Structure 1
Amino acid sequence: MKVGLVLEGGAMRGLYTAGVIDTFLKEKIDVDTIIGVSAGALFGMNYKSKQIGRVLRYNKAYVGNKDYMGVYSFLKTGNVMNEEFCFEKLIDDLDPIDYQSYQESPVDFYAVVTNLQTGKAEYKLLDTLDNYDQVEYLRASGSMPFVSHIIQVNGHEYLDGGCSDSIPIKKMLEMDVDKIIVVLTRPLDYRKKPSNKHLNKLFYHQYPHFVETLNNRYLNYNASLDLITKLEKEKKIFVLRPSQLIPIGRLEKDKEVIQQMYDLGVSDCNNQLENLKKYLRG
């Protein structure tokens, strides 16, 4: 039996996901394929490298560092998330990724990126983070529009995968898996609202297909939620979502709030653990 895991993004709401995947590792909930979007990819890769607690640890340690993320980083580098800090200093020095464990893991890990020329989602297999292109795809997956530089890889231009496929349930249904777990970062009653079409066109008028994707994002997002709700009711997939609303900013710097979001992921997962195991056995 093969198990797929879908990880929604959501910037610092992804601490919920971090709590879930740490619990999976502790409880030996094995998955074979992961598709992560934005923060779901950036945080979810720690499942493949088997580094329990790393996401919470480095966020609490460096969230107050102006070179990590925020207005200072945006004004200094043009990226709200400092690329040099996040993808060089952090993963290689300050709190390193276990590259050997990552590469030896049998888990197929995909990051979702959005191609600006086509406006479509692409799903990049990241089997090693020693490869320059793969690190760039990981970077692109979390490069939020309007506050990030466009990432260029092999002549193509990319931004945040959440723009085109925020919750890649349809893609996972196409994969060779028998069971699917979906981790959402919004409560049950959430629905996305339309974005500002004028702002989308103002920023990205050179990429008309991408503008169309941004304009339709709320429709695609809500359609994915509807599909997930349907499949969940039919017991074809298993869904973990926040059981309560914790007000957390996309670039949250309050360590207590960060801890609360992580703890909610842990507690929700523990509360559903027996139901999850029953689903996986069925």
Structure 2
Amino acid sequence: MNIGLVLSGGMAKGAYQIGALKALQNYLPGNTIKYISCASVGVLNGYAYAADRLTLAEDIWRGICTNDNEKYTITRLLKLDKADSIAQALTKDSLVLENEFYTTLLDLKKKKLIYKNLQGTKTDILTDYLRASVAVPLYKRSIRAEGTDYHDGAAVDNIPVYPLLQHEPDYIICIYFDDISYKFESPDFDSKIIRITFPPKTRFKESVLFTKKSIDDMITEGYERSERILSRVFENGTRDIEKILSEAKKLSEAYESIPRLTGDVMVDNMNKLFKKLTKKSIEP
């Protein structure tokens, strides 16, 4: 079976992914997913899943805030290099990845988005790539990996299905944070996508503020919502393609539908990003 997994970025909302991946692990352990493509915080969660370190990742998430009164904004966490510490903790004494594992990186100097395959990458280099994957432009400096400076590429492509286009997977589990049923790439490719979405509640606050309660609640909801979906999708097992794609179609019809072509998204978002990064001045 050629199975794919896509994890979007989402800052603090990445806690939903921990719950979702715990549910997915009940059906498909990380080593059974052949192709994984992630952005931003999804890279850390996806790596934990692929490397069988999901329990460690959950402990790290729950440990971000140690009591009910403690709060962190995403800005403060980035300044404290928490994301760097998480990347280092997850990759400590780890084996090389056997899955094709793509992280979404931005080379600002070349104005280029790169989907880097980390399959077989040695631990010390792997750590650098994971750190770069969460080096958010405007918040953090770039991270150097194998001689190139990279930032988090989620600002350009936050739902990185593109690397899986070349592999023709039997089906893809795609976890993202929106109430839109995107139509990805071609009709044939899109028909293979099982959408597990978490519609926004208080979108901005939920994305940038960490509290103990919010993290615990998101992990719980991530598990429960995903388990409800996956129990239907895999009712006849993980190899009944006809049943799986039938359920995938039902999920795709649950929300408003709009086309999402990676090339168009990249051009639009790259232009928006560089407008923010460009310094403006009026000279006499």
Shared fold per TM-score greater than 0.5:
yes
1:12 aligns with 2:4: no
Question: In the alignment, which residue of structure 2 is the partner of 1:138?
Answer: 130
1:129 to 1:43, Cα distance in 2 relative to 1, 3 A:
farther
1:99 and 1:54 map into 2 onto residues whose CA distance is 13
Contact kept? 2:87, 2:130, Cα under 8 Å: no
Contact kept? 2:18, 2:58, Cα under 8 Å: yes
1:235 and 1:40 map into 2 onto residues whose CA distance is 23
Question: In the alignment, which residue of structure 1 is the partner of 2:48?
Answer: 46
Output one character per residue of 1:38-84: Cα deviation in whole Å (capped at 9) or x when no partner. Answer: 11101111111212333332122133599x9755566xxxx463466
Output one character per residue of 1:158-195: Cα deviation in whole Å (capped at 9) or x when no partner. Answer: 11120222111222112252221111122337xxxxxx
1:144 and 1:180 map into 2 onto residues whose CA distance is 27
Deviation at 1:8, TM superposition (A): 0.4
Greater alpha carbon shift after TM alignment, 120-129 vs 136-145: 120-129
1:122 to 1:31, Cα distance in 2 relative to 1, 3 A:
same
**Percent identical:** 21
2:176 and 2:18 map into 1 onto residues whose CA distance is 12
Which residues of 2 match residues 221-232 of structure 1 at below 5 A? 225-227=182-184
1:176 to 1:148, Cα distance in 2 relative to 1, 3 A:
same
Output one character per residue of 1:15-42: Cα deviation in whole Å (capped at 9) or x when no partner. Answer: 1111111112233353111111111101
Give unmatched runs, 5+ long, in structure 2: 242-284
1:229 and 1:183 map into 2 onto residues whose CA distance is 19
SS at match of 1:163: coil
Tell me which of 171, 186, 205 is aligned to 1:179.
171
Tell me which of 222, 225, 247 is aligned to 1:268.
225
Which residues of 2 match residues 92-171 of structure 1 at below 5 A? 97=91, 99-100=93-94, 102-103=95-96, 106-127=98-119, 130-171=122-163
Deviation at 1:230, TM superposition (A): 6.0
Deviation at 1:231, TM superposition (A): 6.4
1:69 to 1:242, Cα distance in 2 relative to 1, 3 A:
closer
Q: Which structure's residues are more often strand, by fraction?
A: 2
Contact kept? 2:77, 2:83, Cα under 8 Å: no
1:238 aligns with 2:194: yes
Tell me which of 58, 61, 78 is aligned to 2:60.
58
1:3 and 1:99 map into 2 onto residues whose CA distance is 27
* Alignment length (residue pairs): 233
Contact kept? 1:69, 1:82, Cα under 8 Å: no
SS at match of 1:183: strand
Q: CA RMSD in A?
A: 3.1
Contact kept? 1:80, 1:148, Cα under 8 Å: no
